[in-house]
Amino acid sequence: MTITNETLLQKWNALTYNANAFVRIDASHSLEWYIGYENINQKVLLLVAEYESDTLPSSKSIQVSSGKRVDGNWVLSFKLIRAEQEDVFIRLCSDLIESSRNQQNNLSGLEFVISRYNQWAKLMEIYKTGVLSESIQKGLIGELYYLKEVIEGGMSLGVAVNGWLGPEKADQDFIFSDGWHEIKVVGLSSNVVTISSLEQFDSTLPGELIIYFLDKTAHYDINGFTLHSLISEIWECLSSHREAFNNFNEKLLQIGYIDLPEYQKQFYRLGKVCKYEVDDKFPKLVKGNVPNQIVSAGYQLSIQAIEPWKVV
C-alpha cells in the first residue's frame, strides 16, 4: 500500500483519541511506523528501531525526541505542537514513511530517516511557511513542463528523471545523451531573457535554450493549470516506475517543494514555447571570452535578436 497525504490524515482522524496509544500504520512496511496522539490531542508519528538515533532538531511546530523502551528498542518521535502547521506535518510524515519503504530495519534504515528529516528541517528553516517564492515556482514550472515533454516523447522514465539536474544546482537544467537543455521562464510580453552565470552556456556538448512564456491567469481559464496539477500529471506518468517516482520526489524536495494546498490556488497559462540552438556563434558570455578579471556575471539577451538561432 502507498501512504499518501490524504490517506495518512484519514487514518489519523479515524483513530479514537487515546493519549499514548499508537497503531502501526502499515504492516507491510519494512520499518515500524506508528501513529497516535499525545497530551491534548497532539498528532505523533513514531519510528521503533533497534538503535538509538542522533539528536535531531525540533522546530516551533514539530518536537522531535528519542527514548528507550522497556523491551530495549528505541523510539524516534515526531510530535505536532502547533495545529495550524498540520498540513506541513502530514506531508513530512507521509514523505518519511514512503521514502523509507525500501530501507531495511537496521542502522542504515534509521540513518536514512534521520537524513531525510534533516532535509525537511533545512527546508522549513528557509521557507517558514513551506511555500516557494513566486519566481522559484515559475522556474520550476518551466523545468517540469520540459520533463513532461520528454517523457511524453517516449524517453525512458528513469533516464528522463535522472537527466533533470536543475534541483542539484547544475550549470544546465537537463543533460541527456543528445546534449544539454537550459530552461527559462518569462512573462508573455517579455522581450529579454536573463542568463544568470558565465557557466550556463559553457559546455562542449551540444546545447539548447528553451524559453517558456508564462503568466498568471484566472481559475476559470480553460487553459489554466496550477503547479500542483502539473506535478500530479508527472506523478501519474511515473506511477509505474517506483525508482523514477521516488527520484522525482527527492528532487522536488531538494528544490523545496512540499505538496501544500497553496500550490492549488494560483493558476497559470502557457503561451508560446521557443527553442534555440546554442552553438559557437550564439551570443553568450562564457569564461573563455571575458577578461580573466571577471569571475562571475549575469546578463540579458534580446529574444528578438536571437531569432536566427531559433529552431522551434
- 10 Å Cβ neighbour count for 15? 14
Q: What is the predicted pLDDT for the residue at 130?
A: 62
Q: What is the pTM of this model?
A: 0.74
**Alpha carbon distance 216, 222 (integer Å):** 13
256 neighbors 123 (Cβ within 8 angstroms):
yes
The per-residue pLDDT for range 233-268, each reduced to its tens digit, is 999 999 999 899 989 988 998 888 877 778 999 999
Q: Closest Cα to residue 312, out of 269, 270, 272?
A: 272
Q: Which domains does the chain have, with CATH numbers?
A: 5-126 (3.30.1460), 134-309 (no CATH)
| Three cell numbers, residue 108 | 542504515
The per-residue pLDDT for range 281-305, each reduced to its tens digit, is 999 999 999 999 999 999 999 999 9
Report H helices in the chain: 5-14, 86-99, 107-126, 134-152, 157-162, 227-238, 242-255
Residues of the chain with pLDDT under 50: none
Q: What is the predicted pLDDT for the residue at 3?
A: 83
Radius of gyration of the chain (CA): 23
The per-residue pLDDT for range 192-201, each reduced to its tens digit, is 999 999 999 9
